[in-house]
Amino acid sequence: VKWHEETQKKGVVRDFVDMYLEQIGTENGTLSERSMFQIIFDLYAAGTETSSTGLLWIVLYLIKYPVVQTKCAAEIKRVIGLDTTVQFSDKEKLPYVTATINEVQRISTLGALSLPRSSLEDVEIDGKVIPKNSVIIPHIYSAHHDKTEWQKPEEFKPERFIDKDRHIIKHKAFYPFSIGPRACPGKQLGEMEMFIFTVSLLQEFEFKSVIPPDDLDIEGLQTGVTLVPASYTVKVNSRHKITH
Ligand code: HEM
């Protein structure tokens, strides 16, 4: 904060701390220094573990399903090449990669139990009463595996997200970032990270399991807020040396 105070130019907002300094003493300025630190902590805590766990799930599914990995790499090579810097705007041009990321997010659901809430009053939903002050745990995992919404939900099938015109299907029971006013505020950043990291990694590397892919464990462990994959070993080859 001290460094920002010393180097800040009035009206120029370089980052979140500058924004905090700008609003002090203004009519709508309600953010205290303590709240600002808490928000920065929340963003780091909620924004780092989720994205890295998301990538661990993606690499795990790419080595468990090498055919899917080959199809993703082939689409990347054909559409944007291996030597370009991928942009988020390339997403629509790479439907198979996007569908694969969606399918990993659906089947693994790292935010399986979302975050707990509490009912402020008695609420009735579908004839069932949720009493005031109940703890409510939204179960995103079960929505992602609901047999009435998904055909064979236990099967890993990126194709379920692609329509006949090769556009991505927006499925109503797919919400890895949750829904409603308390949904993940990092959704856009998270989506961007998953896409850019996955494509960049596949441009450079081929990933292989060191054990038979069928033996890879995809159950996941609820160790804290996120559902994480059990640790696994991956062999990484440079894609530039692969001729296929
Ligand atoms: C693949 C990446 C990510 C996934 C799957 C994910 C998923 C989720 C889910 C399911 C929730 C619970 C929402 C609810 O209670 O309804 C959540 C909350 C949250 N996420 Fe993310 N997230 C991701 C990345 C990020 C990033 C990159 C940031 C920040 C830079 C972030 C910041 C937060 C914060 C601050 C909350 C708490 C929101 C609140 O309680 O109001 N997340 N996230």
Residue 190's SS3 state is: helix
- pLDDT tens, 126-153? 999 999 999 999 999 999 999 999 999 9
Look at residue 243 in the predicted model and tell me its pLDDT. 57
- pLDDT tens, 176-220? 999 999 999 999 999 999 999 999 999 999 999 999 999 999 999
pTM confidence score: 0.91
Ligand 1 atom, smallest distance to 115 CA: 15
Look at residue 187 in the predicted model and tell me its pLDDT. 96
What is the number of other CB atoms lying within 10 angstroms of the CB of residue 154? 8
- Pair of tokens at residue 176: 């890895």
The residue whose C-alpha atom lies closest to atom 30 belonging to ligand 1 is 47
Contact assessment for residue 140 and residue 176, using Cβ atoms and an 8 Å cutoff: yes
Could you tell me the residue ranges of all domains in the chain? 48-243
The runs of H, that is alpha helices, within 65-186 are: 66-79, 95-108, 140-144
Ligand 1 atom, smallest distance to 175 CA: 10
In this structure, whether the domain defined by 48-243 belongs to CATH 1.10.12.10 is answered with no
184 assigned to a ligand binding site: yes
Chain-wide mean pLDDT for the chain? 94
Look at residue 126 in the predicted model and tell me its pLDDT. 93
What gap in Å lies between CA 165 and CA 162, rounded to an integer? 8
